[in-house]
Structure 1
């Protein structure tokens, strides 16, 4: 029992010691017993709070934790867990920023600087190097540490002993420039190269680890974390102090500062170290040759000074890279041309025009090609490289009836026959009696030289004219001299129109070409032929010659094969009677509603209704009407009427649109009772194709719509008038215009309310009719000011009348 009690007391004491160490890790004197794996989330929170309250980081307390007995392994575990805890619990503005980048075990503070495109200085050669965010000259952490790298506070060394004895630790260089190795002690390494520090550390370890001196164990030392150094950039677009990697170079710092300022030099940048100019940097060496000899490494407190430029020149025109360039003393135009990547393919290279500045004004100077290596540009020079002339020194052209019309190279002594041979000879349609040469004279005017091709091609040197540069030889085609002949066919053929005329073209050929005759073609054919004569005959009034004959209307191949002539007009007439069956529709209260073919041209309503079996017992005799489709020509007539309206008035367009899209039909009322009594009554209208006869079913209701209190259908009562039905739905509303109310009868007729003096008559009401009460038009009430104005006018008028009669 005593043993169990002893073990429990020891266990709780062990846990309590962990809790105490977790809560006050910075003040504890012994950290050798701390086990990071047993720390809870609360313990990590307390440690993180301690570090924040002391304004320090876990990396900064590493030497102290190791000196108090914490092993390097436990410290590394604690560091990892604290970082994981910080990331896991970070929210909003408290979320930690990643300030370190790690590649292959080596870490470096990450330095960024947002780049803004410099549009003002975009044409300065080299400016694009520093406003491109993808080009930052950051040091590569994968490369081996340079042997001349100087250690300093903030660097971290990875020291490993392996073999018989083992040791592994990441040891920072303290602010005093020393590293502290367990059991070895402190070693000063600040200001030493990595190679010298490695030898010194190995010697110190060998004094403690006996197997190192005997060779049974090996020592490895590498740079695991790179420190940050402070440098200053003067004269850049974003001058100031910068914290950058100790492996950074001049170009990296210049990129962070945005490169030289508006008037900064690109060719005489000074790297000042220990108050002395350590290096003069010329960025052009990198831009033109890719030479990075000026891209030296930086050290603590280095100053990069960008002075103002000495001289700049402008190159514009036909070079591969126009812009503004900085020149050094002793450089010539060839050097400048090299900076601009040389002339482009359209440049005039024999000489270059330069605009120079004197003390008072400008002057122009021409640099010949022989002076390119000797002329030294002056500050402010503007070099203009022009295009070559748009002309050829040895060009000649042939066009027309040859197999390969094109441009060809001209050679001294070339003749017409030589050029035709190059063009693969004459075509079959070539006009061989004449060819034309358009020649450019020395004064740039043109002349025509005629050539006899037959003679030239048979060896006559007098006809075979010698050619000159820029000559244009034209070989005519006999087809060019022919008139373009046409024939016209119209009437009852599938594709009437105008067609090309060919020799020996017959009527049969033309009918087959247009797709043949239609079914309505008659046997009558009329051909109009133009009259040609060298003599004017005033006694003959004919303008054309008319040829008439008959063909077989049901056959495209005619027995008489009539030969056509140019410009003939052929007209195939339509047969006298050729009408396809046309239909009307009847629907509603008839015995057999449906579609009916119009039997004759005078087919009327009565005949069609009787053919449909007559009216049924439920038919409303007063509800018959015809709906006739509105034809396109009616809409076109409305559009063509000029109502002399303003340009902004769209009355015509609105009316045409309403007919075309909304109404689509016009209504014709039918009085069936009158038709039954008199077949010649005007209601018995003649029907047109597409008409619809509607016979309404008897309905005893009367619909009341519009601006009434209740839109409804009231049962019809014989003898009741117009006002009865309006009152039956509650009367008109506040916007209703009762005196303009109207009625629509079942057959489509309409009637309106009439007024005479103080008397008003309303239309009769029949079953299935519809009463409509329209809305009153909006009226604008006169304002007080308008009434006062009218009163003033009347008062002035009254005074004028009184004065006149005095």
Structure 2
């Protein structure tokens, strides 16, 4: 009668489902309990598809197709976690360990496991057994163990099976069939297991009574009840049977050791009791599993370490910081030693452990820095010398390494202050007596200062591909390891500058820029060291630096090495140049007395005692140049001379002298049209052009502003823009106007300077007309032809030409205005000659009084004539 009422309820529910709503998991579960034949019959009667109901339950199945009774919890905390701002700087709080394993929510109250039945399973009332008979006849029976514990096989006598194991059941039935029926064999399997009810109480997510499989264990009961609350104990889960505790489960054994021996099988009527959590400790820092852990009375230091998974490799275990509550009255700081097994430290509830990391500073080591093949940190051993690290100059050093100058930076106090020891790498490898102490830093420098020079030298050495790769590896180590190691004494601005330098050094595939220092140059490697020495300087400990100036290979500031002398300072600066004056150098020493601030000491390098003079902090050694030392001036003579080329001249030599050395002029030379240029004049002209461009830009801007408020301006934007572009692109010639015929006759004289150039063109037979004429051109020179006649030959002047200021640029560069003198005139010769240029300037009033326009155009013309004269040679 009860079964019929259940069927009516289910059918009415599904009739409503078909028109109103989706069936609940509980309704589908009740329907699924019915035999398959009844399910299909009811489906046909009420017109719904059984497969659609099966599909609706697929989402509750696991990966093996078994139905799951657990779904994830949908808590507000999870929603908050998803919405957390990715830029939120707050750290996530520590979470209790192990609770996420059971953080589910039950979906039904039905048995949750469909698994193979073990051979030791105890048969009980309500179990369903499938009996397969085959042989002379074949049939299958699904039989239920009745309330008396008997199994009744059709045509056979009942057999008592309750209390037997599954394996014993199979043997019993097989023997019975063999004895009572000849020619029949049997195959037995479990069709459906009975269900049983257990209670889950205490700190369960959904406490209550649950229908579970007879194969269920304690953890299954935890799953079906949705897991544990936040205050549930994982160490003391109790199984009570008939009022007595029959088992205690410690989930830490399962989670940490994989031990399931405590996970006992449940029986019908059992109660799973979950008490509240016991004493807890929290652990964070350099551990593998930070979190909150529950303690038991038997837990010690070793078991606590196992709970948080052990320490990370960089953990400082000698003194682990512990905050401990004592007697509920005060909070104490305790240090725990986890590095020793002899420590008797025991954890207590409420402890908060913070495991710090070890210092990144490497101790008891030596560091190789600079132009070495294998830079980095090496183990220090007592009695170690430099030759043990760098045993071979060829195989252990880069090709650009400097053998004469190297440094050892050594700590001299517990505060980290350092001192510098200078040595010769070649001598250290030969004598093998350069001892090292722990934490020494060995600097090996390049013998080149500029990167461009170093790259050229390395290219000439024809390095192999492996050597080139090694060069890049060493540079990268220096960039990323050594520079970061030194940043601790840098200011913020220095760090920014270092980062910029890093970005430049990373572009190794680019051509080295002019003036860029080599990676292992003295300037680059010493920069952080000098900062370090400056940082440690005080009133009692002066800055340990010196300066070397003058005629040395690498002038600059250097560390004051221990027992430094004048000779060592010269070695640090790369040695003296050929131009150095050995008989006299100057050592300036800061003494800061009342009547004298500096003391000057004369040093003679020819005297051996001078090289042994001890240096002090802030000394400056100035290596003077030899009197009248010159590398020689370079002067170029081109054109119509017998031996054109570049000549080296001494100070005081004249243009006549170098022309004689060049064999004099050829018979085709035109001395009146000679062009003489000078580098110093070229630099002055370039500055004037830049100044003119700036003034013209301001003038144009002023005119444009006046035009915007109503004044007319006849100059167009295109013309202004073109003029500014022309000025920006003009390169000065540096022409010095000379009268070469007078110079050759010793009437004039020109003293030569470095970079001077003389261009002697051939015979001239033309006159050029440029500027505001209708057709700028050149014409054959004819004696007696006037300027106006030449202008007519060029089509006449344009409307915007300024006829009263037409001027002539003579072949030698002199300028004259035919009718009157002007500020341009530098010669009184007012006659036209071959090679001259007639210039017709623009009327500045046409440009709305843009006064600079006329000046600019005149400069263009004059520079253009000089360039054209040189180009014709």
Higher-Rg member (1/2): 1
TM superposition score category, shorter chain reference: 0.3 to 0.5
Higher strand fraction: Structure 1 or Structure 2? 1
Q: Which has the higher helix share?
A: 2
